[in-house]
């Protein structure tokens, strides 16, 4: 688990809800053996923190975030010392929080399993008021492999074309390592 995470669930940031968290993904320009086709890419990271699986996705007003880390029992700062422990929450058409607008549907969960695996996830279907940031966007990390797609392209999924690290078209403003 990275040093900036204070707790086992990485949710102890100020003004964050119990099940809110934001996974951090590597910058696409640092990926090795990157293969990209317009708004989709895959690549391999430096394997510095490869014992994790995480994902984040948006489809208009539907959003999900998930993450799990394995072998956390070797980390001295880890709180992953339970055989099975978890908690979850579900809210549908809730107006109980006076500081927020109505929640259409929201679900969150976090837990510890097998004394060494931690995980969390949340999802929501928000009211379709206002425009979403992306129409479609999926980002996933499976150990050292990263997979991403977005419509329209953005900083996390830039418009690029290439195969196995040989790039024909790199993101705008990127300096080519092959020049």
Integer Cα distance of 74 and 1 in angstroms: 10
Integer Cα distance of 119 and 113 in angstroms: 8
CB 122 within 8 A of CB 108: yes
Element (H or E) spanning 104, and its range?
A: strand 103-113
- Assess whether the previous peptide bond of 76 is cis (omega < 30° from 0): no
pLDDT for res 41: 95
* Confidence grade of residue 20 (pLDDT, cut at 50, 70, 90): confident
What's the whole-model pTM score? 0.73
Q: Is the pLDDT of residue 179 over 50?
A: no
Give residue 105's Cα distance to chain centre.
20
Span 16-39, mean pLDDT? 87
Tokens read off for 170: 């790199």
27-37 in b/e form (b: 16+ CB < 10 A) is ebeebeebbbe
Tokens read off for 36: 């990209």
Instruction: Provide, rounded to the nearest whole percent, the portion of the chain with pLDDT above 70.
Output: 73
* Confidence grade of residue 21 (pLDDT, cut at 50, 70, 90): confident
| Residues ≥6 apart with Cβ < 8 Å to 173 | none
Render pLDDT for 144-178 as a digit per residue (tens, 0 to 9): 999 999 999 999 999 999 999 999 999 877 654 44
């Amino acid at each position: 688990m990275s040093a900036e995470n204070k707790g086992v669930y990485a949710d102890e940031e100020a003004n964050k809800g119990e099940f809110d968290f934001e996974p951090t993904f590597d910058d696409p320009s640092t990926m090795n053996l990157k293969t990209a086709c317009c708004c989709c890419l895959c690549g391999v990271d430096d394997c510095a923190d490869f014992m994790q699986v995480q994902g984040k996705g948006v489809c208009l007003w539907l959003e999900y975030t998930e993450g799990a880390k394995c072998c956390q029992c070797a980390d001295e700062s880890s709180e992953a010392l339970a055989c099975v422990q978890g908690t979850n929450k579900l809210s549908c058409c809730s107006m109980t929080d006076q500081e927020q607008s109505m929640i259409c549907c929201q679900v969150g969960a976090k837990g510890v399993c097998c004394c060494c695996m931690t995980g969390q996830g949340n999802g929501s279907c928000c009211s379709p008021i206002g425009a979403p940031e992306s129409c479609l966007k999926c980002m996933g990390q499976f150990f050292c492999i990263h997979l991403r797609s977005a419509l329209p392209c953005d900083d996390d999924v830039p418009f690029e074309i290439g195969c196995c690290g040989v790039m024909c078209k790199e993101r705008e403003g990127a300096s080519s390592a092959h020049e």
